[in-house]
Amino acid sequence: MSRSNSKMSDRRNKPNDRHEPGQVDNRNFTPMVKSLYLKEETADLFFVFTTTDDQTERVPAHKLLLSTSEKFAKLFADAEAGQNEFKMNGIPVEAFKEFLQFFYMPKFKLTFENIDAIMSLAQDYGREEMLVECSVFLAHKLTTENMIWGYGLAIRFDRAILKKNCELKIADNAEEVLKSNCFLECERDVLRQILQLDSLKCIESQVLTSCLLWAKTAANRKGLDGNSTKVLREELGDLLYEVRFKSIAIQNFAMIVGSFKGFFSVADLEEITQLIGLKDYKSETFNSKTRLTSNGNNNVNGNENNGANSVAGGGTGSGHTNEEKHKDGIMYANRYTGNFATRYYIQKAEKTRFEAQKSLRLVGIVCGQVFNAKQNDNKVNIDAKVTVSEQVGIGQKPVEIFESTLTLSSEKETHISICCPIPIEPNRKYEILLQLDSAQELYNQAELKGFVELKNGVKIRFLGDDTRSFDTSKCGLVQKLLFKRA
């Protein structure tokens, strides 16, 4: 897979390599190594696979190159004297060929068909770099239909950043994702982690009915009676306790109870009724929290509509909207496109410049998540100073109008509240400067909009940092601006 032609290449804002005196580039080295890929004439070992028609296929390789993997090196060291063939069991031959690209090719191609097996090989043979590339590949290619499948891979191979990205996508597209075949076929542990998400942009009764359909699919797969409520209850087991019943409207729950007679025990019904009916009731068995929509609003039972008939049939109520609710007249200029770009490496001084064509008051700033390229966890925290300045005239020094501190995190967005709203005048340029304590190997992957139109028709245009060698108007740390009318 190549990312060298991407508009947002990993290396686009890194310093050029410097040579020591007397050093020159060996431009033939890479083509020479590349020419050895799958070449029998120069191979000194072969991996033998049994194909579907009980035939064998030998895949040529080179011991010197593969020995950079400790596991391959051990395999060769433990081999009998003169042995140059190694049988490979349970691995698709085409997936293994794709995996071998990593040892030979400067640019390699990944496919959805083999990505699962390739990640397994990369993990087994200690190729952490390839696991990172597979994660980036999936982050760009996953859709609502296969998002749960990708989420399962992120969990299985401990890809924290991919897992977090999938969770954001699942939360924002919950209505479609919970209807997908990948959801119905997901592993039990994957379903548990989905149910433990505190934010899903759909009504909670859809979460429950989707779980029931998942249980039916699992039962049918085992040859059990998927229409038996007793079988469904046993199949779902303690996952039922992760459903946020406090967020379900009583009329929708009543319809579900009527459609799945005998599924809920008397004890279940007693607990659930109190969760729905009593605001402060805490259950010792069921999750007593409400679920949030992904924009931060409580999905309490009063938000579910009266379309209980469609809910009982396994669909979703049509009256619930997913539009962002603006409390106290706040308007969100949300730059996030919902897509992931290639890594944007963060500088110690990050600038975001913008202008509006009408008067507004800036009341808040939201910065996106940051990650560390050398760490595979999501526990990065970095302190920063934020300054907002106004360009009052051409050639004049910008005037600082706000200053604060914050901590950027890879676990969640960072919100900055501006207690004294900043007046934003029409067609003047404003700059948000984030000065980080350290930005070494920090990056984000959010693809941003360079232009946002608010609901009242006000247009916000984001400008590039003219001190950088590439267009920064669609990348950076500032993902949302919060405004009020002037």
Structural element, H or E, at residue 47: strand 45-50
Q: Which CATH number fits domain 29-139: 1.10.1060.10, 3.40.50.970, 3.40.50.360, 3.30.710.10?
A: 3.30.710.10
The pLDDT value given to residue 19? 54
Of residues 330, 387, 393, 386, the one with CA closest to residue 362: 330
Any bridge partners for residue 340, and if so which? Answer: 446
pTM comes to: 0.60
The pLDDT value given to residue 243? 96
Task: Give domain limits for the chain.
Answer: 29-139, 172-312, 327-485
First to last CA, the chain: 49
Alpha carbons 341 and 475: distance in angstroms, whole number: 9
Buried b (16+ CB within 10 A) or exposed e, 108-136: bebeeebbbbbbbbbbebebeebbbbbbb
Give the chain's residues under pLDDT 70: 1-29, 293-328, 375-378, 393-395
Q: What is the DSSP string of 80-97?
A: PTT--EEE--SS-HHHHH
The pLDDT value given to residue 377? 54
Contact 253, 271 (CB under 8 A): no
CATH topology classification for 327-485 = Jelly Rolls (2.60.120)
The tokens for 188 are 């039990």
- Which positions ≥6 away from 270 have C-beta within 8 Å? none
The pLDDT value given to residue 228? 93
Contact 214, 191 (CB under 8 A): yes
Going 398 to 402 to 406 to 408, the CA torsion angle's sign is negative
Alpha carbons 227 and 260: distance in angstroms, whole number: 9
pLDDT digits (tens, 9 = 90+) for 345-376: 899 999 999 999 999 999 999 999 888 877 65
The pLDDT value given to residue 45? 94
pLDDT digits (tens, 9 = 90+) for 43-73: 999 999 988 777 889 999 999 999 989 999 9
